[in-house]
Amino acid sequence: MAVETGTRAGPDSFLEALRSEKVAGNEILAAWVAHVLARNGIETLFEFETWLRGLYAFLDYRHLPLNPAEGPNLIGRNFEAEIRVAGLALQECERSALELCSLGQDAKVEPRAPVETKVYGPGVLDSQSGRMLEQSTPMDSLARLIESVHDLRVAIGAFKEPPGQTFQLFLTIGRMLHRDVRNARFVDMLLNQRLRLQYDRIDNAVLSGVLRSITEEHLRRNVALVLLHLYRFLHYLNHVSRALAEDRPLRRYLVVFSLLHEQTASLCDFIKSRFLKEKCAYPELRDAADLIIHSLKMETQRVLERELPFVASEGSASKVYARFENSHGLLRNCYQSGVVVLVQALDRGVDGKSLFPSMVESQQKGQKLQTYLWDLRQELRAEVERAAGLDLDRVLDRITQFRGLLLGNLMYQDLGEFESFSESLIAAGSQAEIIGLIRKFIGYLEVLSQEVSNRSALKDVSQTAGNPEVPELTPE
């Protein structure tokens, strides 16, 4: 019903109308996602979301694949290669959006009467209500975003001369994309929902059984959220593995690795706040959380700072392929190992292949050895920090056991470094010297645990560059 001219609504009624529109918007978005699922387009929707989130991360210089030495010189650096990658990713984003539009819209999703017909007063409408007036369905938002993305690609194409490919232009493209997405009402809503039942559900009986064994509700929820995010990361990597298997052009997939770098940092903060800062009823979970954080940070840093810098401008297709293959293998192994470590902290009897059937033997051995090395690290740290003082006999006993494991599983250079440490420890003349040596050995174990993981990942990457399993977990 139209509102009479001159009627002014109070602020409370206007805010109530906006709240009502927000709820209605979420219902419309959910109905549209269900329609996309029914039309077998859910992977296209996930792909669309991946490209958009990836562009957000890539156009933030903090998540760019860069050599650490480049950091201080960004202002004067030429960003021609990175801007070209952004243009390719925008093209993929536009393509996936057009595919979503081709799926149409469920007849049940009818445009609602906009907020203007509910409450209106001169000068009251803001940008949010303006979007509601213009975009009453997800298809409206997709159409708007497609137009914006196309315009942005044309603008990027206009800056072809190297002098124009500056850091400032790179940042400007990122800000323009953010504004365009915010103005696409339902796309913005989609990106604000971090997990989604339709493509984040994990159907795995072993995983569900382990979660049901956790009696504390908040702890079970925290563990489930970590698992859901690790599986989400594997789902992102699935785009890269398909491109590797089908020998597609790869540079555009740099945005996926930027996205993984960004979301890994958020996940590490979450794990630290929920398992390390809070008191946890399971000491094993604390140790597992510590290992997962260490591994995630080390591997994402390795990929972004050592594997992928200069790939955007690399002229050799074989070198680009090798870098992507290595990066994919390192991160896939890291995420799968994170899942296994977390689950085995709750149930040691769970085998890695029951969670990831394609996990190869070398990867399983590497994951088990990495866990063993980290457990030894934790024991030595506790020994050094023990209030009653260091028990050297216990330390030497434990290290002797460790040596037995090394003989069958590690390489000659690892054993050499270990033997050197052992001799120094036995010959140490004071408690302070012994503690100093143990602290160095703890650092050695941290590095060695990652090397073990890397070796098992790289050895079999060519055999497992297909589809990583993304398996009942339901996002909260």
Per-residue model confidence as pLDDT tens for the chain (476 residues): 444 444 445 556 545 655 655 667 788 899 999 999 999 999 999 999 999 999 999 999 999 999 888 877 888 888 999 999 999 999 999 999 999 999 987 656 555 544 444 434 444 445 555 555 567 889 999 999 999 999 999 888 877 665 667 888 899 999 999 999 999 999 999 999 888 888 888 888 999 999 999 988 999 999 999 999 999 999 999 999 999 999 899 999 999 999 999 999 999 999 999 888 766 667 888 889 988 998 899 899 999 999 999 999 998 999 999 999 999 999 998 999 999 999 999 998 888 888 888 776 666 777 777 777 788 888 788 777 775 667 777 777 777 777 666 655 655 556 667 677 767 776 776 777 778 888 888 888 877 777 776 665 555 544 444 444 444 455 54
- Which residues, other chains included, contact 172 with Cβ-Cβ below 8 Å and sequence gap of 6+? none
pLDDT at 267: 96
In whole angstroms, give the CA distance from residue 284 to residue 302: 27
pLDDT at 70: 82
pLDDT at 226: 95
Q: What is the 3-state secondary structure (H, E, C) of the chain?
A: CCCCCCCCCCHHHHHHHHHHHHHHHHHHHHHHHHHHHHCCCHHHHHHHHHHHHHHHHHCCHHHCCCCHHHHHHCCCCCCHHHHHHHHHHHHHHHHHHHHHHHCCCCCCCCCCCCHHHCCCCCCCCCHHHHHHHHCCCHHHHHHHHHHHHHHHHHHHHHCCCHHHCCHHHHHHHHHHHHHHHHHCHHHHHHHHCCCCHHHHCECCHHHHHHHHCCCCHHHHHHHHHHHHHHHHHHHHHHHHHHHHHCCCCCHHHHHHHHHHHHHHHHHHHHHHHHHHCCCCCCHHHHHHHHHHHHHHHHHHHHHHHHHCCCHHHCCCHHHHHHHHHHHHHHHHHHHHHHHHHHHHHHCCCCCHHHHCCCCCHHHHHHHHHHHHHHHHHHHHHHHHHCCCCCCHHHHHHHHHHHHHHHHHHCCHHHHHHHHHHHHHHHHCCCHHHHHHHHHHHHHHHHHHHHHHHHHHHHHCHHHCCCCCCCCCECCC
| DSSP state letter for 372 | H
Residue the block writes with tokens 């094993």: 284
pLDDT at 415: 62
pLDDT at 461: 47
User: In this structure, what token pair is assigned to residue 119?
Assistant: 């409450």
pTM of the model: 0.79
Cβ atoms of 469 and 339 closer than 8 Å: no
pLDDT at 376: 80
pLDDT at 20: 59
In whole angstroms, give the CA distance from residue 315 to residue 309: 13
pLDDT at 68: 85
pLDDT at 178: 94
pLDDT at 19: 61
| DSSP state letter for 273 | I
pLDDT at 16: 62
Closest listed residue to residue 26, CA positions, set 141, 190, 144, 183: 190
